[in-house]
Copies of this chain bind each other. A is one copy, B any other.
Amino acid sequence: MRALIDAIIAKDNPSVVGLDPKPALIPPILLNSARTVRDVAEAYFAFNIAIIDAVYDIVPAVKPQIAMYEALGPAGLDVYVRTNEYAQTRGLYVLGDIKRGDIGSTAAAYAAHIEGTPSINGVGSTDVWHEDAVTVNPYLGSDGILPFVQAANNSNKDIFVLVKTSNPSSNELQDLRVDGFAHTVATQVAELVEQWGENSRANKYGYSRVGAVVGATHPVLGAQLRTLMPHTFFLVPGYGAQGGTADDLAGLFDENGLGALINSSRGIIGAWKHTDEAETIRTELQALNLVATSARQAALAMKNDIARVRA
């Protein structure tokens, strides 16, 4: 987690831009000439590059949501990888939002996301995904998570485990009261996350390589989780378009204004849609410029909005 925290401090900004392209967020002119799924994927790539170039000096990280690329099949995933690679060349920490989870031997295969491909005969381990961290799903318990923890330790990278997600129906399982009602499923996962990170917290910040996903849409529970998980860095979705406000974030930071990375996707990458110029785009270049300038403004506004509530 150290590389991420260093970057947050260097840019004085604990926010991350979600690179979640989908047709409704792309200026139509960029899709007009698309005739194949690969063309659509290439439009996503151009869109992403415009955004990365516009925000790389403001934000420490980007969070591409792999589902948006996976929706286009292998051509989309190719663009996911190239987006990650480009973001890394711009000095950004790339947090792959992949939410993978499976039994031990399968989780070990997924852990190639951060550790590289298996080494086979003449073919050495290769970093094919270009991610600095990934999100993972805890439903299968420790043996689905520990291969990722080991991969993170081996490769100096990080993971973020889903604890309490930002969506409305996150209550259905995550808020179930367990263990004589002293806990919920989410707080039980929180305790496991602290355990999974136990061996990687000895660094100057005290945060382990095992982070947690905690939605901005549950500020009271979020503050409780902050106390319950003193060595766990939070990835916080749900700010902005999903309804979370800066005030909802206050309890997620530690006393140094660290401990949480706040995500915004649509609020940044779709900011161009709320400009007057959106109606008068005539060329692809105009479209990309508008996407870029709007994303930069929105990223700066978000930085200032959050700065208000950091300790």
Contact partners of A143 in chain B: CB under 8 A? 167-169
Q: What mask results when residues 109 to 123 of chain A are scored 1 for a CB within 8 Å of chain B, else 0?
A: 110110001101111
- Bound-state CA distance A142–B106 (Å) is 25
Contacts of A162 in B (CB 8 A): 139-140
A192 contact set on B, CB distance < 8 A: 172
Q: Nearest-CB distance from A129 to chain B (Å)?
A: 6
User: Is A72 touching B139 in the complex (CB atoms < 8 A)?
Assistant: no
A71 located at the interface, meaning its Cβ lies under 8 Å from any Cβ of chain B in the complex = yes
Are B67 and A120 in contact (CB-based, < 8 A)? no
Segment of A87-95, A97-105, A253-261, A300-308 engaged in the interface with chain B: A97-105
Contact of A101 among B22, B109, B137 (CB under 8 A): B137
With A72-B117, A144-B167 given, name 13 new contacts (CB 8 A).
Answer: A34-B120, A71-B117, A73-B128, A74-B78, A99-B137, A103-B165, A103-B166, A103-B237, A137-B137, A139-B162, A140-B165, A141-B173, A176-B176
**What are 28 A-to-B residue pairs whose CB atoms are below 8 Å?**
A22-B109, A65-B106, A65-B109, A67-B100, A67-B102, A67-B110, A73-B81, A73-B112, A73-B129, A99-B101, A99-B102, A101-B137, A103-B165, A103-B166, A103-B167, A137-B139, A138-B173, A139-B162, A140-B165, A140-B167, A140-B170, A140-B173, A141-B170, A141-B172, A141-B174, A142-B172, A172-B192, A176-B176
